Amino acid sequence: VLGRYRLRGDKHVFTLCRVIITTGRTHQIRVHMAHIGHPLVGDSKYNPHAQNDLMWCPRVFLHAWCLGFWDCRNTWQLVKAPLLRDLSKVLCSLEEIKLDLDRPDSPSCRLAGTPAQAKDVLQPGSNPVSARHASPPPQPT
């Protein structure tokens, strides 16, 4: 969880998440997030409220900011892309809800693990990606 947001003057809370996938299956993130009760904003296939989302978000709020792969020369390639302007505008239009890490029972902060682990993950400048995901996977044979 990178942050919690809501439309200004609205009670519905949205969560900005960093998700790491291993297989890259079609709709993997969309299906899993909907299954746990947190469908993606604007996702008309898996989110029953997507029509309401389209009033303030022009498309599915999903962005691949970092992608790694082995190229045809067996060299690890890492590509990063900033958040596109349309989604950046949407994010800026929302009101951030401050996470209360001292009260893990707070509705603004529902993180797995202990409060100490949550603080470590959400410190400014910290990287919640574990070391095993930061480096390339084994080279293909």
DSSP secondary structure, 65-107, as one string = -EEEEE-TTS-EEEEE-PPPHHHHHHHHHEEEEPP-TT-TTST
Band (pLDDT 50/70/90 cuts) for residue 106 is low
- Residue pair 4/96 in contact (Cβ under 8 Å)? The answer is yes
Residue 132, SS3? helix
- Nearest one of 55, 63, 64 to 93, comparing CA atoms: 55
- Spatial neighbors of 95 by CB under 8 A, at least 6 apart, are 5, 6, 7, 8
- Residue pair 83/63 in contact (Cβ under 8 Å)? The answer is yes
Q: What is the Cα–Cα distance from 47 to 27, expressed in whole angstroms? A: 13
pLDDT in tens, 111-130: 444 444 444 444 444 444 43
Q: What's the pTM value of the predicted model, to 2 decimals?
A: 0.67
pLDDT at 104 over 70: no
* Higher per-residue pLDDT: 62 or 130: 62
Entry field: residues in the chain: 141
| Residue 69 token pair | 């792969």
What does the pLDDT read at residue 85? Answer: 93
- Nearest one of 92, 94, 75 to 84, comparing CA atoms: 92
| Residue 77 token pair | 């390639």
Average pLDDT over residues 39-54: 93
